[in-house]
Amino acid sequence: MKIGILMGGPSAERNISLKTGKAVAIACRELGHEILELSFRTNYQKFLPLLRSTDLVFNALHGTVGEDGIIQAWLDENNIKYTGSGAFASSLCMNKDKSKNVARSLGLLTPDWEIIHSIDDVISLNTPLVIKPNDQGSTVGLSIVRNINGKSEAINHAMQYSDNIIAEKFVRGREITVTILGEKVLPIVEIRSKHELYDYECKYTPGMSEYICPAELGQYLTIEIQKDTKRLFKALECQVYGRADYLLDKEDKCFFLEMNTLPGMTSTSLVPISAKADGLSFIKLISCILEMSL
């Protein structure tokens, strides 16, 4: 099979996308496929003739353009098959405000939040708060605000990445993440990071985080979280694979944060860690994604 791997892109997560793309390319070659590694910064349209010659496009992009439905809609218009969720689900999940509303409509807990567009907007939520772009991943542009005096600096930081900012009630707790692969929910991963939140540095710096999989949760709680994640995945109209992030407070209340439709796929990323705990090697995981996408 001939596979085109789209990677890079213009987002703040470009470097992670390149690592994902390279890891996926290695796995696809080991599976015996013919590979086109297609790295771009802004002009993905130039690859149209090459993409039309492929059997499938593996979308290894993260963040804006690649993960927010823009690439997916363009591929749909050109009748090109690709991995992962479609344009609607991608756009919906990239918008934290909208996806949190879907979660709340299903009865799931999610931290209280408000959307702001200006440094002058009034935030009615009490501190501590998390302030971050509404449409970015990898905790890009995120700050914790402990008193209202720090609001302006945090909003300015977030607005470097987006005009839509989400102010979210800070929940102190254990960070867990849940992977869906097809119809199956994989073992839950608990993240123990050196910082108070699992931020960009902790995600991508070796030794800054420890991963426990399966997470040390009771059987009933594990089943409930997995069941809720599956419901949410379907309600958001996601396909093939994805990863939901949560915070678990000291009373074991689970708060939904976001659904990632194109999570990192290097051999040390969270989805492969979860897959490995379920007996799936990285190569087998990539093979499953390819088969389900076709």
For residues 127 and 83, what is the distance between their CA atoms, to the nearest angstrom? 40
Among the options 4, 8, 9, 13, which is catalytic? 13
Tokens of 252: 């074991």
Per the annotation, the verdict on 13 as an active-site residue is yes
Question: How many Cβ atoms sit within 10 Å of the Cβ of residue 30?
Answer: 12
CA distances from 207 to 93, 202, 257 (A): 29, 8, 24
Question: Vertex 54, ends 49 and 60: CA angle to 5°?
Answer: 95
Give yes or no: 14 in active site: no
| Catalytic residue selected from 209, 258, 269, 274 | 258
163 among known catalytic residues: no
Point out the catalytic residue in the list 138, 209, 269, 274: 138
- Catalytic residue status for 52: no
Of 44, 200, 204, 241, the catalytic one is 204
Closest CA to 262 of 90, 116, 134, 18: 90
245, 246, 269, 274: the active-site residue: 245
Residue 218, burial from CB neighbour count under 10 angstroms (0-12, 13-18, 19+): exposed
Q: Which stretches within 246-281 are classed as H helix?
A: 270-277
| 204 counts as catalytic | yes
> Does 156 qualify as catalytic in the annotation?
no
CA dist 94 and 283 (Å) reads 27
State the catalytic residue, choosing from 9, 91, 264, 269: 264
> What is the β-pairing status of strands 174-181 and 129-133?
unpaired
Q: What three-state secondary structure class fits 74? A: helix
* Residue 243 annotated as catalytic: yes
Per the residue annotation, which of 134, 260, 269, 274 is the catalytic one?
260
User: What are the catalytic residues?
Assistant: 13, 138, 204, 243, 245, 258, 260, 264
